[in-house]
């Protein structure tokens, strides 16, 4: 039975190779609307031939072999799983998106570029400024977010905001580190750090905000419903366009080394008005607006 | 006394109803009590289970974060606070996902409660939370993550005490309920069955024969309506009883009068019979008295006749010689025939007198019981008609005889058969209205039955059907007031049966009666 499934998978993967060659191999972690939105932006920018592989549709997909067989000019990896799947693709340029692990040291390769998930610190700190938060608490894992915190510290100094930093090496430390920030911060800035924020510790952030009446500034609107006061979320369509521009440059002969890992250009600003009202926070922007950032 | 009371209870409708009702009420009360107590116990247990589940889930939610962080101090603090809030918490044990005990809280380590309810729940991470990657990509979160477990023990000693108290209270309430229902049912039954009791007492009085009682109708229920019906029945019986008494008295009086009347009639018949007997004896005596002179007259007549015959030639010669002469005042030529005729008359009449006297004597002396085998039925008929004619008055009534000449002789008593025909003929004559009409007597041989039939038909008033059924009863007569004895047809039937014959009457009111006497011939009668 297992051999039969493998046979079907292999046939499904290699039969399309009988068709004509393509430029971009799109490796998508799973099927969801966020990836579709990103792809829509990508395709709007880049009109090229492509092949799409959704990893969750296959029991086991050998991307390296597909790349070797199909010889695409470019690989577009959507999500962390797709990034991992293309780990052993060494020659073909890879553009990664929607992957938190793109900043990990382990992921660093010469043929890899892409757009990170971290929105530049400036709009976050601007938002904190608008909330009159002069002391902003941040919990982070050095391996995941140290590179981002360097930018954040610079921007904080520029805006005269004090960053109260708490480093955690495992999620279990988050609780005590959060407790230690009680009374010493005016707002908590949640980073998309998979160690500092987990499903288990998420409640601690929300409870901390509620118990200490401190607003949470998040990176995803999914947390607004759970108690975060405001969020700066990626503009996925623009993220796709951004990746499309990078792909277009690569296909036109630009070297990967000349296209470093970039940050998202645009973010969508969203708030939970009820939480803001309950916390007594008044924002200048009363409507949801787009905040642009640039490298 | 006690035994009789127990027997009374066994047969008491009221007691039976009361016993059935109280037993049933007791059973129902017990069943309801048991069901109620059981449901309450189940409910208490369910509530305790639910409370334990809710409390455990609540505590698990509270300790999920410190458990994830494995912060024993915070967990102990939370448990201490919760134990203060919920005094029935007796112990809590918290384990991490490796089953290692992180906190083991016991309220009173020295004395654990006897009755404990233990609940083990998994401690899970916040199910609403999503990881940063999922939050940004919109991917669905993996299933709920179990980060440890918590075992909660609740002291349910209070629940046991409550259940015991509930049981006692329920049983006491059930007992008082049953007691009240029993008392009320007794009062109701007493009221309801009062009608039955009154009705039954009335029935027993009526059964003893006292129809004059009236059962009181207390209300318009079944016993009341039954009492009213029985009252009506008793009244009808009372009325019937009175009517019976009156009729019985009237019957006794009527019987008394009838007996007196019959006694009179019987006496008259006895007198008549006595008179007939006397008449018979008189007839026998008279026959003897007549017979002697009649014999002398006959002898004298014979002598005179013989003497006349001897003297006649002499007298004729003398007349021839000397001429006619007077003899006894008349000429000899005429006296010759007259005297000869007188002699013949004397001989004939004396012989007739002798015969009549002989017959009378034979009748009165009972010679009629002699049976002979040469009885001529036609002769019997003629003798009977002669007797009846000699008997007396039958006005303008005619007796017509149609006899078959060659009838066979039969075996029997001539006199008895004559008496039969005489009786029937007299009846026919007496039945003729206005003393006119014709009585027809016929004799014939019935070839089929080989019997000699004597049929006597009249044109009289006929016999009523009721009378026809009683014709052969002794002393029954429609002419008792006119001297009838009521024995004629009784005797006639008896005599015919003595001859092994049959006597048949056919009659039609207003048209007449036909009587047929059938007598067996020697060939038909063995």
Identify the residue whose tokens are 């075996």: B411
d(CA B330, CA B333): 8
Q: Does B26 touch chain A if contact means CB atoms closer than 8 Å? A: no
pLDDT 10s digits, B187-220: 888 887 777 777 888 888 888 877 777 888 777 7
Out of 3.40.50.150, 3.40.50.2300, 3.40.50.280, 3.40.710.10, the CATH code matching A121-234+267-292 is 3.40.50.2300
CB crowding A92-123: b at 16 or more within 10 Å, else e: bbbbbbbbbbbbeeebeeebbbbbbbbbbbbb
d(CA A56, CA B278): 159
Residues B319 and B414 in one domain: no
Write down how long chain A is. Answer: 295
Residues B385 and B447 in one domain: yes
pLDDT at A75: 94
Residues B312 and B387 in one domain: no
Q: Domain of B464: which CATH number?
A: 3.30.565.10
Q: Determine the residue of chain A that is closest to B142 in CA distance.
A: A199
pTM above 0.80, yes or no: no
Residues B386 and B493 in one domain: yes
| B93 band by pLDDT with thresholds 50, 70 and 90 | very high
Residues B443 and B473 in one domain: yes
Residues B51 and B151 in one domain: yes
Task: Collapse the DSSP code of A184 into the 3-class scheme (helix H, G, I; strand E, B; otherwise coil) and give the result.
Answer: coil
Q: Domain of B108: which CATH number?
A: 3.30.450
Residue contact A197–B132, C-beta within 8 A: yes
Q: How far is A166 from chain B (nearest CA, A)?
A: 16
Structural domain boundaries, residue B500: 368-526
Indicate the average pLDDT of chain A: 86
Strand partners, B403: B443
Q: How far is B126 from chain A (nearest CA, A)?
A: 6
Out of 3.40.50.300, 3.30.930.10, 3.40.50.2300, 3.40.50.2020, the CATH code matching A2-117+237-264 is 3.40.50.2300
pLDDT at B275: 66
Answer yes or no: is B463 within a domain: yes
Write down how long chain B is. Answer: 526
Residues B444 and B379 in one domain: yes
Residues B172 and B241 in one domain: no
Between B202-216, B308-322, B506-520, the lowest mean confidence (pLDDT) is in B202-216
Q: Which residues contact B100 (CB under 8 A, 6 or more apart)?
A: none
Domain boundary among B312, B340, B365: B365
Residue contact A171–B70, C-beta within 8 A: no
Average pLDDT score over residue span B88-116: 87
All residues of chain B having their beta carbon less than 8 Å from the beta carbon of residue A234 are 136
pLDDT at A287: 42
Domain boundary among B365, B394, B414: B365
Residues of chain A with CATH 3.40.50.2300: 2-117+237-264, 121-234+267-292
Residues B462 and B516 in one domain: yes
Answer yes or no: is B388 within a domain: yes
Q: Which of B65, B137, B140 sits opposite A98 (nearest CB)?
A: B137
Element (H, E) at B10: helix B2-10
Q: Does B242 touch chain A if contact means CB atoms closer than 8 Å? A: no
Pair of tokens at residue A27: 């490796």
d(CA B441, CA B399): 7
Cα–Cα distances in angstroms (integers) from residue B264 to residues B53, B161, B251, B397, in the given order: 122, 111, 19, 33
All residues of chain A having their beta carbon less than 8 Å from the beta carbon of residue B132 are 100, 192-194, 197, 219-220
All residues of chain B having their beta carbon less than 8 Å from the beta carbon of residue A30 are 139
pLDDT at A20: 54
Per-state percent for chain A, helix, strand, coil, to nearest 5? 45, 20, 35
Phi, psi of B289, deg, nearest 5: -65, -35
Q: What is the ipTM of this complex?
A: 0.74
The count of structural domains within chain B is 3
| pLDDT of residue B225 exceeding 90 | no
Long-range contacts of B229-233 (CB under 8 A, 24+ apart): B230/B199, B230/B202, B230/B203, B230/B206, B231/B202
d(CA B367, CA A202): 160
Answer yes or no: is B352 within a domain: yes
Angle at A90 between CA A86 and CA A93, to 5 degrees: 75
Q: Which of A34, A175, A233 sits opposite B66 (nearest CB)?
A: A175
Average pLDDT score over residue span B246-254: 91
Q: Which residues contact B367 (CB under 8 A, 6 or more apart)?
A: B415
d(CA B122, CA A83): 35
| B3 band by pLDDT with thresholds 50, 70 and 90 | low
Q: Determine the residue of chain A that is closest to B145 in CA distance.
A: A200
- CB distance B97 to B147 below 8 Å: yes
Residues B94 and B175 in one domain: yes
pLDDT 10s digits, A81-107: 899 999 889 889 999 999 888 887 777
Residues B424 and B522 in one domain: yes
| A186 band by pLDDT with thresholds 50, 70 and 90 | very high
Answer yes or no: is B205 within a domain: no
Domain boundary among B365, B391, B423: B365
pLDDT at B526: 52
| A291 band by pLDDT with thresholds 50, 70 and 90 | very low
Answer yes or no: is B228 within a domain: no
Give which of A153, B327, B413 is closest to B421, Cα–Cα: B413
Answer yes or no: is B3 within a domain: no
Average pLDDT score over residue span A239-247: 93
| A161 band by pLDDT with thresholds 50, 70 and 90 | very high
Residues B36 and B65 in one domain: yes
């Amino acid at each position: 039975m297992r051999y039969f499934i493998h046979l079907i998978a292999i046939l499904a993967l290699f039969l399309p190779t009988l068709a004509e060659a393509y430029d971009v191999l799109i490796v998508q972690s799973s099927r969801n609307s966020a990836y579709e939105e990103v792809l829509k932006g990508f395709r709007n920018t880049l009109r090229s031939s492509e092949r799409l592989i959704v990893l969750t549709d296959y029991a086991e997909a050998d991307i390296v072999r597909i790349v070797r067989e199909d010889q695409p000019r470019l690989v577009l990896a959507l999500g962390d799983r797709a990034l991992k799947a293309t780990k052993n693709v060494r020659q073909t340029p890879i553009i990664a998106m929607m992957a938190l692990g793109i900043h990990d040291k382990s992921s660093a390769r010469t043929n890899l570029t892409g757009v990170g998930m971290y929105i530049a610190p400036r709009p976050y700190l601007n938002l904190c400024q608008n909330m009159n938060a002069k002391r902003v608490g941040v919990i982070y894992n050095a391996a995941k977010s140290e590179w981002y915190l360097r930018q954040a510290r610079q921007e904080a100094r520029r805006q005269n905001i004090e960053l109260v930093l708490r480093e955690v090496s495992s999620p279990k430390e988050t609780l005590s580190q959060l407790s230690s920030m009680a009374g010493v911060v005016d707002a908590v800035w949640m980073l998309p750090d998979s160690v500092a924020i987990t499903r288990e510790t998420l409640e601690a952030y929300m409870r901390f905000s509620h118990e200490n009446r401190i607003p949470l500034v998040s990176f995803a609107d999914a947390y607004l419903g759970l108690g975060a006061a405001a969020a700066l979320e990626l503009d996925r369509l623009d993220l796709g366009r951004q990746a499309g521009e990078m792909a277009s440059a690569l296909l036109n002969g630009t070297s990967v080394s000349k296209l470093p890992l970039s940050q998202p250009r645009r973010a969508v600003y969203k708030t939970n008005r009820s939480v803001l009202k309950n916390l007594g926070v008044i924002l200048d922007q009363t409507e949801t607006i787009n905040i642009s950032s640039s490298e | 006394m006690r035994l009789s009371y127990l027997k009374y209870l066994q047969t008491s409708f009221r007691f039976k109803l009361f016993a059935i009702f109280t037993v049933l009420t007791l059973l129902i009360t017990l069943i309801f009590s048991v069901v109620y107590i059981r449901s309450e116990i189940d409910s208490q247990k369910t509530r305790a289970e639910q409370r334990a589940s809710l409390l455990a889930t609540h505590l698990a939610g509270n300790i999920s974060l410190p458990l994830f962080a494995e912060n024993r101090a915070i967990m102990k603090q939370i448990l201490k606070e919760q134990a203060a809030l919920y005094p029935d918490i007796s112990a809590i044990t918290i384990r991490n996902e490796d089953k290692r005990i992180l906190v083991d809280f016991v309220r009173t380590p020295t004395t654990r409660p006897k009755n404990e309810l233990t609940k083990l729940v998994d401690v899970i991470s916040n199910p609403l939370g999503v990881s940063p990657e999922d939050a940004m990509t919109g991917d669905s979160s993996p299933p709920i993550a179990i980060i440890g477990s918590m075992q909660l023990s609740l002291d349910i000693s209070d629940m046991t005490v409550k259940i015991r108290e509930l049981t006692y209270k329920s049983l006491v309430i059930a007992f008082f309920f049953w007691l009240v229902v029993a008392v009320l049912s007794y009062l109701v039954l007493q009221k309801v069955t009062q009608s039955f009791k009154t009705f039954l007492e009335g029935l027993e009085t009526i059964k003893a024969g006292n129809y004059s009682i009236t059962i009181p109708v207390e209300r318009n229920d079944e016993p009341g309506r039954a009492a009213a019906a029985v009252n009506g029945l008793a009244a009808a019986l009372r009325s019937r009883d009175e009517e019976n008494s009156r009729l019985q008295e009237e019957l006794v009086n009527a019987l008394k009068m009838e007996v007196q009347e019959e006694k009179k009639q019987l006496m008259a018949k006895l007198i008549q019979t006595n008179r007939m007997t006397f008449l018979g004896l008189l007839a026998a005596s008279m026959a003897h008295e007549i017979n002697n002179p009649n014999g002398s007259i006959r002898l004298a007549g014979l002598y005179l006749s013989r003497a006349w015959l001897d003297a006649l030639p002499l007298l004729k010669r003398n007349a021839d010689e000397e001429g006619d002469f007077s003899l006894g005042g008349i000429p000899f030529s005429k006296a010759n025939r007259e005297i000869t005729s007188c002699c013949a008359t004397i001989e004939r009449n004396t012989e007739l007198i002798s015969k009549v006297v002989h017959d009378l004597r034979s009748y009165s002396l009972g010679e009629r019981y002699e049976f002979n085998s040469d009885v001529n039925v036609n002769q019997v008929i003629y003798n009977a008609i002669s007797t009846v004619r000699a008997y007396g008055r039958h006005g303008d009534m005619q007796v017509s005889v149609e006899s078959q000449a060659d009838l066979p002789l039969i075996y029997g008593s001539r006199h008895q058969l004559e008496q039969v025909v005489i009786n029937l003929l007299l009846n026919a004559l007496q039945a003729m209205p206005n003393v006119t009409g014709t009585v027809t007597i016929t004799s014939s041989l019935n070839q089929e039955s080989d019997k000699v039939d004597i049929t006597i038909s009249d044109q009289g008033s006929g016999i009523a059907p009721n009378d026809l059924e009683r014709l052969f009863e002794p002393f029954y007569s429609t002419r008792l007031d006119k001297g009838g004895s009521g024995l004629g047809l009784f005797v006639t039937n008896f005599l015919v049966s003595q001859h092994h014959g049959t006597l048949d009457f056919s009659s039609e009111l207003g048209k007449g009666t036909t009587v047929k006497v059938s007598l067996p011939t020697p060939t038909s009668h063995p």
